[in-house]
Amino acid sequence: MNDALSRAAEAAGLSDPAQRSLRLAFGLACVSRVEHLLEDARAKEALRVLQAWVEGRADDASLQTAATDMQAVAGGHRGSDSIDGSAHAAVSATYAVANALAGRALEAADYAAYASVYAYGGYAVNDRASFEPEFVWQVQELERLAGKG
């Protein structure tokens, strides 16, 4: 968990119902950083729906449909077909998309950070320092989107 991000989220009022657009935009920003790890075409399409919603080109019904679909996709992800051991990175990136679509921005950020670090190699997730660059970016991006950075 990114403690600095939790503090920034509280300062930005991220959990306030009026901050839905901020939660979705921040979730999108986080998952966009791990989009290259997505292997399921449905996850990639759902990410495009989120992008369209943030840009004002999709309605709430489309967003809700994508969010519902992604819960099933993430829950049924069997891992990666890759031989490089990136299964956890692909699964975590997929969960990041599902959480971003559902407006659970901090959870999306957590999964995206894990996916990003795991993509380096499984050993990296045991080293807290491996997460620091992503954690710093997340705080800066939330503050930027909230108009405080």
User: pLDDT tens across 2-48, in order?
Assistant: 999 999 999 999 999 999 999 999 999 999 999 999 989 999 999 99
For 104-138, how does the pLDDT look when each residue is reduced to its tens digit (9 = 90+)? 999 999 999 999 888 876 666 667 788 899 999 99
Residue pair 109/138 in contact (Cβ under 8 Å)? The answer is yes
Query: In 3D, which of 14, 1, 5, 3 has the Cα closest to residue 137?
Result: 5
Q: Which pLDDT band holds residue 84 (cuts at 50, 70, 90)? A: very low
Residue pair 138/2 in contact (Cβ under 8 Å)? The answer is yes
